[in-house]
Amino acid sequence: MMNRKARIVVLISGRGSNMVAIADNIDAGLIPDAEIVLVLSNKDDAPGLQIARERGLHTWFIRASSSFLERKLTREEYDEQLKGVLADYEPDLICLAGFMRILSPGFVQEYQNRILNIHPSLLPAFPGEDAHTDVLAYGAKVSGCTIHMVDEQVDHGPIVVQRTVPVHESDTKKTLADRVLVEEHIAYTEAINMVLSGNFEVVGRRFQLKEL
Ligand code: GRF
């Protein structure tokens, strides 16, 4: 048992609804003994960043380009900056919630088994940036979301939680995304509780809860 609250950092790039769901569920006591210590974005105009500020959460952004260097940062340079910021916040868990950057192997290794990502399909089906479009084009009858540990490959690490939804013939990308999003907000909380319990092991690709 930790004798302080578990420290969660949420990384976002956009509207931040998963970040809000995590914050709401902490406030509602559904993620006990935890706090969001930082919401960080790679975009200073991410709507989620403003929402986080309004609810009194610490926020930060790191741009992909450096005006000092007058160029885009390499992935490694970006992640070094990220590490520097995160070090001050001592995160127990980093939740990627619509964070549209791939993390370097060095970063992933530094926080091994402490980074979660959410992906809006049932991995390993439909990885990549436009999962809902791919699900509809393929004609899949079921979709959902996956919360997984982040490893060195994209949309790949051990699966912690999956939740499913039906795909309807009449679905558009928006109707499917909306249905999946409801499950995302539940799944992230489930996964965070599992990981923060510390009562798990990762065996090969398999995330498994230990018997108490
Ligand atoms: C979610 O659908 C998530 O699965 C995907 O990006 C979206 C982020 O939504 N990776 P939000 O910013 O949490 O509202």
Query: Is the confidence at residue 2, as pLDDT, over 60?
Result: no
Which pLDDT score is estimated for 70? 84
Which pLDDT score is estimated for 158? 98
Cβ distance 189 to 165 under 8 Å?
no
Query: Is the confidence at residue 98, as pLDDT, over 70?
Result: yes
Lookup: tokens for 19: 């970040």
Q: How far is the CA of 41 from the centre of ligand 1 (A)?
A: 13
Tokens 């230990």, located at residue:
210
The closest residue, in CA terms, to atom 3 on ligand 1 is 98
Q: What is the pTM of this model?
A: 0.96
Query: Is the confidence at residue 212, as pLDDT, over 80?
Result: no
CA dihedral 25, 172, 140, 203 (to 10 degrees): -30
> Is 119 one of the annotated active-site residues of the chain?
yes
pLDDT band for 3, please (50, 70, 90 cuts). Answer: confident
Query: Is the confidence at residue 150, as pLDDT, over 90?
Result: yes
Indicate if ligand 1 lies below 6 Å from the C-beta of 14: yes
Cα(60)–Cα(24) distance, integer angstroms: 20
Indicate if ligand 1 lies below 6 Å from the C-beta of 17: yes
Indicate if ligand 1 lies below 6 Å from the C-beta of 104: no
Cα(141)–Cα(160) distance, integer angstroms: 22
The closest residue, in CA terms, to atom 2 on ligand 1 is 120
pLDDT band for 21, please (50, 70, 90 cuts). Answer: very high
Q: Which residues pair with 35 in a beta bridge?
A: 7
Average pLDDT on 146-158 reads 96
> Looking at ligand 1, which atom is closest to the CA of residue 177?
2
Query: Is the confidence at residue 1, as pLDDT, over 70?
Result: no
Indicate if ligand 1 lies below 6 Å from the C-beta of 118: yes
Element (H, E) at 188: helix 173-196
Element (H, E) at 93: strand 93-96
Cα(7)–Cα(180) distance, integer angstroms: 27
Cβ distance 192 to 161 under 8 Å?
no
Query: Is the confidence at residue 94, as pLDDT, over 80?
Result: yes
